[in-house]
């Protein structure tokens, strides 16, 4: 059997399988097949999209990919043909179904697919003259807004920044960890809408309400977890952590009562003509001093002490709290505290990392950080960066969403010592 006829045969097999089972798996192979009439890149892009949404035909109907007219028409024709195939009776005989598929998709055929040569596919293997290599050029300068998390990514690994912000071909499909973080943030946002002044006499009501907020928020993010078991385990972990969070609120009321002024507060700052944006998880006012506290919830790994976090700021490895500080200061607030609340571990008490401005973290450190933000954003906006080098620190690669695509990542410790 020639390669072309093998293509046709597996295309027909997949079409039969899809007709019989309506499963997405053969459908995704169909759209990527050379027999689909859809170009390879477009088929692969739609397959990637449908693997996430599970609705290939709808995605094509809604033209979810911006395509040139001829590409779009080919995709729409492919979807139309599939729908025609779907109208075939479920009890159709195999032979009848196969013949219809050959006819509907206009596959080169003499009724026996195994002998089909699909002449139009032969050109796929024709050799072409090599094109002269393109001259290397830098990635176009970044023209949109900046954020502290983008600079954190760039500081951690320039290549990671490139994959995340400049190279749409490599997709971050998200992870259970990011779904957990988003759900927990949403739960606390709702919770503090009802409890802006947490007080110990409301302890029972707070415990009940936070349980409901976590349940509801995780339902919203259910699709971010691959299995029902993982979802259940993560909800339980979040519920335990949320109760510890209430323990901390109750204790905090005695030590340093506060009022929540805002949740998911937009932070905007113009640094040397370049716009920076972000969202502050929570903005508090200390009821005794009137100072403003910027609070960031952390559901992943973070620094374990204020001095460790300050060192990261000093080394230009973290810009988040300095950015929030300058954004709120520019908005007229007198920011006295920058706070990270670790919410990763359900087994230990919540112990926030508090940076007192002017004491734990000096203003000149915050100014250094702002100056570096300006330098880095100028670098990224310049369009002059010709190489986005991978990090030398292999620990950064452990949970990197782009690790599969990244051919030049450093070997892990285990690999280095094993070789
Ligand atoms: S795998 Fe490692 S080197 Fe590659 S982008 Fe991710 S962090 Fe950077």
Q: pLDDT tens-digit profile of 322-371?
A: 999 999 999 999 999 999 999 998 888 999 999 999 999 999 999 999 99
Number of domains in the chain: 3
Closest atom of ligand 1 to 391 CA is 3
Distance 396 CA to ligand 1 centre (A): 7
**Domain end marker among 255, 277, 300:** 255
Ligand 1 site, residue 1, Cβ cutoff 6 A: no
Q: How confident is the model at residue 3 (pLDDT cuts 50, 70, 90)?
A: low
Ligand 1 site, residue 160, Cβ cutoff 6 A: yes
Greatest mean pLDDT among 109-113, 118-122, 319-323, 385-389 lies in 319-323
Same domain, 308 and 232: no
CA distance 272 to 275: 8
Q: Is the pLDDT of residue 136 over 80?
A: no
Q: From 175, 387, 396, give the residue whose CB has the most ligand 1 atoms within 8 Å, as the site to mutate.
A: 396
Distance 42 CA to ligand 1 centre (A): 27
- Write out the H or E segment, with its range, that includes residue 258: strand 258-271
Q: Is residue 344 part of a domain?
A: yes
Same domain, 232 and 166: no
pLDDT at 373: 97
pLDDT at 414: 74
Greatest mean pLDDT among 43-57, 228-242, 379-393 lies in 228-242
Ligand 1 site, residue 155, Cβ cutoff 6 A: no
Q: From 152, 171, 175, 406, give the residue whose CB has the most ligand 1 atoms within 8 Å, as the site to mutate.
A: 406
Distance 379 CA to ligand 1 centre (A): 20
Q: With CA atoms as reference, report the closest residue to 390 among 156, 146, 138.
A: 156
Task: Record the pTM.
Answer: 0.69
Query: Which domain covers residue 153, as residue numbers?
Result: 143-171+256-419
**Domain end marker among 121, 156, 188:** 121
Closest atom of ligand 1 to 396 CA is 7
Q: With CA atoms as reference, report the closest residue to 273 among 145, 154, 138, 139.
A: 145
Same domain, 290 and 394: yes
Matching residue, tokens 């949404």:
53
Q: Is residue 138 part of a domain?
A: no
Please tell me the residue having the least CA distance from ligand 1 atom 1.
403
Ligand 1 site, residue 400, Cβ cutoff 6 A: yes
CA distance 154 to 132: 32
Q: How confident is the model at residue 124 (pLDDT cuts 50, 70, 90)?
A: low
* Contact call for residues 327 and 269 (beta carbons, < 8 A): yes
CA distance 271 to 129: 49
Average pLDDT, the chain: 88
């Amino acid at each position: 059997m020639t390669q072309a006829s093998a293509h046709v045969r597996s295309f027909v097999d997949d079409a039969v399988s899809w007709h019989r089972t309506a499963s997405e798996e053969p459908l995704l192979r169909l759209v990527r097949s050379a027999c689909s009439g859809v170009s390879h890149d477009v088929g692969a892009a739609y397959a990637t999209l449908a693997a996430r949404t599970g609705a290939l035909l709808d995605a094509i109907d809604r033209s979810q990919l911006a395509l040139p007219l001829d590409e779009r028409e080919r995709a729409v024709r492919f979807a139309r043909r599939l729908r025609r195939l779907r109208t075939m009776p479920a009890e159709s005989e195999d032979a009848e179904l196969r013949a219809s598929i050959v006819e509907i998709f206009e596959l080169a055929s003499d009724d026996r697919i195994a002998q089909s040569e699909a002449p139009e596919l032969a050109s796929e293997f024709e050799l072409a003259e090599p094109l002269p290599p393109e001259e290397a050029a830098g990635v176009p300068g970044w023209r949109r807004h900046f954020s502290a998390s983008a600079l954190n990514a760039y500081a951690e690994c320039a290549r990671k920044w490139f994959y995340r912000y400049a190279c749409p071909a490599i997709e971050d499909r998200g992870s259970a960890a990011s779904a957990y973080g988003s759900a927990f943030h949403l739960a606390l946002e709702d919770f503090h809408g009802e409890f802006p002044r947490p007080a110990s006499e409301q302890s029972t009501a707070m415990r009940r309400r936070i349980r409901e907020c976590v349940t509801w928020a995780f339902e919203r993010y259910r699709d971010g977890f691959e299995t029902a078991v993982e979802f259940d385990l993560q909800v339980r972990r979040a519920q335990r952590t949320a109760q510890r969070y209430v323990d901390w609120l109750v204790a905090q009321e005695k030590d340093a009562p506060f009022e929540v002024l805002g949740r998911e507060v937009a932070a905007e700052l113009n640094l040397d003509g370049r716009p920076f944006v972000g969202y502050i998880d929570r903005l508090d006012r200390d009821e005794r001093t009137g100072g403003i506290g910027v609070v960031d919830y952390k559901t992943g790994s973070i620094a374990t002490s204020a001095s460790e976090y300050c060192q990261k700021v000093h080394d230009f490895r973290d810009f988040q709290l300095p950015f929030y500080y300058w954004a709120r200061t520019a908005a007229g607030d007198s920011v006295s505290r920058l706070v990270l609340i670790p919410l990763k571990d359900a087994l230990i008490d919540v112990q926030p990392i508090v940076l007192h401005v002017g004491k734990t973290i000096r203003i000149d450190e915050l100014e250094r950080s702002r100056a570096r933000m300006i330098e880095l954003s100028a670098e990224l906006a310049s369009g002059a960066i010709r190489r986005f080098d991978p990090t030398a620190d292999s620990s950064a690669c452990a949970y990197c969403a782009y690790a599969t695509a990244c051919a030049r990542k450093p070997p892990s410790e285990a690999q280095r010592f094993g070789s």
